[in-house]
Structure 1
């Protein structure tokens, strides 16, 4: 029988960190909220994807995880498999999922061909079926020279020319061009749609009373995102509270699920010695804590930038500069626009600088005071474009996949 229920497949390669997963989840939730017959599957290597709740008609397929080593090489996250064998396994799962699900639209997050090209065979298969192929890019990728070198190695520009129908940039052209410094043909530029930033909403469900120990007292929320590269930020904040140099608002620190276990234990022990600092490992509903907080301290990733705009909180960012300068570029531009304040990580561990920044933070203006309108129109733009694409699709007929059914 024909099937008029449209389908979208979202691919997110990352196994480490929270940024890609949370961005894809926000997009999927917004889409099904706007289109009542749509189904979305997220393909992800995140080991904690099961910790999050998903709306009806959004589901996920988890591919086996990999981790990136300090030397830039990849290794299996938990299975005793070599990386080449792991990549073949992941590519097979990705291709078979796409083959059976047979989506109308595929959205690939950030990496045009996926982790070491793993999604390329799937894209080529779906291109033959006239599936609409979309590459989703955050507002800032990296400094121009580094991105140009990386994309040349990965043959990314050819993929943008030959495979992709559209490129959605989750930001504003007047804020930043993510392809600055990359030599791309005009035809690729013509495919780009700047959507605006992705507004975050409060999740449904229980309150965060069990997570917030400060009751009605104002507090500062400190979040290094996934936590894997946020040890310096947390250490710097704890040093400021340990110094007792100036009165500070209480701090709730969310370490992140990817912070090394030994560092989590160290930070929790230090916090227990402080009356006005509380530490938790992770919550999948951090938006609720952001809404309750008086101010926010973070690192400068795409998600926290969207969140501080959405919840309109005075914010201090301490962006990382390795392995990418993405966070530093975003934070610098946001500070110049009057949206937030920054401390350079090069000042770590200057306690006086952090103490002063934390003491002044609650009195600073929220992002809305800068007077920028329509920054957070990303989800509405994505939904409108998705509905336009789907309105031109023909009635879905049964597709017989390459797979043999298990009897």
Structure 2
């Protein structure tokens, strides 16, 4: 039931240096919250170069900060080549702080990067902490391999800063799926603030429909943003080429960040195969996944939530470097029977992949293979936010 609030404000930060995952997760949470609470306004700070390509509900808006791209080697560079990275980061930090000062949020939710890109959020965290804003860190179900995350965070004393600034730590997954801080030395004060809210359920829009949804049955092939997805798309196209008995219609979504040369090469190859259709991007992926008979993906967080939400048989071929997040998630989900997993090495074998693709639509959906199908994140977040804002209102009344 929708609850009414009086001029409540939530600010969200999404650094968005690679892919679409952070912005899409923030947008999902924001849309759910404004649907549950009248009088609530949500503002998303995003570095995504295509933040404006998505639809936003009333009372949800975004502020665009200069884009920074994460390269495959893990380094960063400015989107605008004539501006150096240091200058870009200074502009981003200034815009983030100014936005917080102008918007004056009741709650500030930071997605995944506790101090932001290269520490750009720390100044804003200190400012908001001093004025009494509730500070929330939102973590994916899986962050990275423990040894990699531990080394990265120790270099910058991230755990100590989480303890210093954050009031709450939300984990966007259930506790029995995976602990994103496993293997790290987590202070008791941080562990006490952690709340495993659950996976974030997705649903199709009742107002809009994707113009790319094919007629009839189809397998959806998606690599999210597409920046590192060319290899999987190539494997799927090669499997169709090598096995004429593979006749399931396939809709391949390349992703907006796939390099132009790779995109053009794959479009040319796919155009020669009658059962394969290729598109570059669709801002309503939920509709495409909901309409499919099966999904082939790399297994990023959002796609995984959509596979569970729409109960689709799925094949996951995870990225294995520079981060191991997708590999860890895929292994865990495969062990629970929720998805089928192939390593990138096996995926490169066209005959093997073709056999898997032919059988994929007949694979039992996640709901029939595991009891670990809980998508409670959005209602749990709404409950927490409602309690926080109700406490805020009661404190204001007490002062009056």
Same-fold status (TM-score > 0.5):
yes
Higher relative contact order (CA 8 A, sep 6+): 1
- CA distance in structure 2 between the partners assigned to 1:160 and 1:151 by the alignment: 10
Aligned to 1:296: 295
TM-score (norm 1): 0.94
Show the counterpart of 1:231. Answer: 230
Retained in 1: the 8 A contact 2:317–2:347?
Answer: no
1:38 corresponds to 2:40: yes
- Residue among 122, 125, 137 paired with 2:139: 137
* Cα RMSD after superposing both structures: 1.5
Structure-1 residue corresponding to 2:312: 313
Equivalent residue, structure 1, for 2:341: 342
Q: What's the secondary structure of 1:393's corresponding residue? A: helix
In structure 2, distance between residues paired with 1:251 and 1:205: 26
CA contact (8 A) 2:47 2:64 kept: yes
Contact 2:14–2:22, Cα closer than 8 Å, also in 1? yes
1:205-229 CA deviation, whole Å, 9 max, x = no partner?
3433x4134x22x110000000000
Show the counterpart of 2:190.
188
* Residues in 2 aligned to 1:100 and 1:394: alpha-carbon distance in whole angstroms: 21
Report what 1:219 is aligned to: 218
**Do residues 273 (structure 1) and 272 (structure 2) align?**
yes
State the match for 1:262 in structure 2. 261
Q: How many residues align?
A: 392
2:119 aligns with: 117
* Deviations 1:145-190, CA, capped at 9 Å, x for gaps: 1110011123210111100000000001111110011111111100
Q: Which residue of 2 aligns with 1:52?
A: 54
Could you say which residue in structure 2 is the equivalent of 1:400?
none
Whole-angstrom CA distance in 1 between matches of 2:105 and 2:192: 24
Distance across 1 between alignment mates of 2:219 and 2:393: 51
| CA–CA separation in structure 2 for the residues paired with 1:323 and 1:13 | 18
Higher deviation after alignment, 192-201 or 80-89: 80-89
Structure 2 contact 68–77 (Cα < 8 Å) conserved:
yes
Aligned to 2:99: 97
Distance 1:54 1:204 in 2: 14
Alpha-carbon offset, residue 138 of structure 1 = 0.4
1:324 alignment counterpart: 323
- 1:348 deviates by 4.0
Q: Is the 8 A contact 1:15 1:47 kept in 2?
A: no
Provide runs of 4+ in structure 1 moved above 6 Å: none
Contiguous gaps of at least 5 residues in structure 2: none
Aligned to 2:14: 12
The answer to whether 1:372 aligns with 2:371 is yes
Given that 1:66 and 1:75 are in contact with CA atoms closer than 8 Å, whether structure 2 keeps it comes out as yes
* Whole-Å separation in 2 of the counterparts to 1:365 and 1:42: 38
How far is the alpha carbon of 1:281 from its aligned partner?
Answer: 0.2
- Return the TM-score normalized by structure 2: 0.95
Deviates more, 1:183-192 or 1:372-381: 372-381
Q: CA deviation at 1:267?
A: 1.2
Cα deviation, 1:358-403, whole Å, max 9, x if unaligned, reads 0110110001002426610000000000000011114899xxxxxx
Q: Which residue of 1 aligns with 2:251?
A: 252
